[in-house]
Amino acid sequence: MNKVPVIAIDGPSGSGKGTIASRIAETLGFSLLDSGALYRVLGIACHRHNTALSDSSAVASLARNLDIQFGLSGEGSVSLDGEDVSLAIRTDLGSDMASKVGAIEAAREALFQRQLDFRVAPGLVADGRDMGTTVFPDAALKIFLTASLEARAERRYKQLIAKGIDAILPALLRDLKERDRRDSERTVSPLKPAEDAIVIDTTDLTIETVVKKVLECYSAA
């Protein structure tokens, strides 16, 4: 049994999980797994290789052989085959493809071990959709972050603009709704809180408040 502690932070897009997870990891000196980035890179790779999403074994084979590196061209960067794809994976296309490949069971299986490999001492903060339910069911702490659709769309909008990526708020809102539906309704590892997860609604909370709450929960766990 792996005794390295994991803090699982799940939730829909824009719930704040990426920011919160990286702050918690930094504070505790833990590693960080942004599992969404793995799905995003796989989505972009499928697009570049013209891999049909209906061909699940081709998608899974691509997933198994992906050359992904984190931090190669700076902190928080993501590379595919040695090329920095940090911006490409955050575009609308990256979001859409990630949500679509995420619904393919064989692709999830292929990415499973890669996610487990992030569990190294002294600990791991893992953010995604199924960290607490499927990938790390024995996590020391499971947090499920939510926020209203409007608040999440607005956060995504600000994030994209800050990165120099064009964005239109009503279109983001519509896309977010569609991705929420797809991520929650899929049969394999749907987006839902683990039974033992602590649910935090971040709509009206600052990042600092949420970080404090999660750290308190971890101390008490």
Return all residues near 180 (Cβ < 8 A) that are at least 6 apart: 12, 13, 149, 191
The reply to whether 35 sits near ligand DC by the rule CB under 6 A is: yes
Stretch that binds ligand DC, among 31-39, 57-65, 71-79, 145-153 (CB under 6 A): 31-39
State the pairing for strand pair 124-128/31-34.
parallel
Q: Which of 100, 103, 133, 90 is nearest to 115 (CA)?
A: 133
Q: Which of 110, 117, 105, 102 is nearest to 6 (CA)?
A: 117
- Candidates 5, 36, 123, 132; binder of ligand DC (CB under 6 A) is 36
Residues 151-210 contacting ligand DC, CB under 6 A: 179, 183
Tokens of residue 2, six digits:
């792996």
The reply to whether 39 sits near ligand DC by the rule CB under 6 A is: yes
Binding mask 10-29 for ligand DC (x = CB under 6 A): ---x----------------
The residue nearest ligand DC at its CB is: 36
Nearer to ligand DC (CB atom), residue 90 or residue 211: 90
Nearer to ligand DC (CB atom), residue 177 or residue 216: 177
Q: Which of 2, 3, 33, 40 is nearest to 18 (CA)?
A: 33
Measured between alpha carbons, how far is residue 74 from residues 1, 81, 86, 115 in Å?
33, 16, 10, 21
* CA–CA gap between residue 220 and residue 202 (Å, rounded): 20
Residues 88-127 contacting ligand DC, CB under 6 A: 95, 98-99, 102
- Candidates 16, 123, 128, 132; binder of ligand DC (CB under 6 A) is 128
Chain residues that interact with ligand DC, rule: CB under 6 A: 13, 35-36, 39-40, 95, 98-99, 102, 128-130, 179, 183
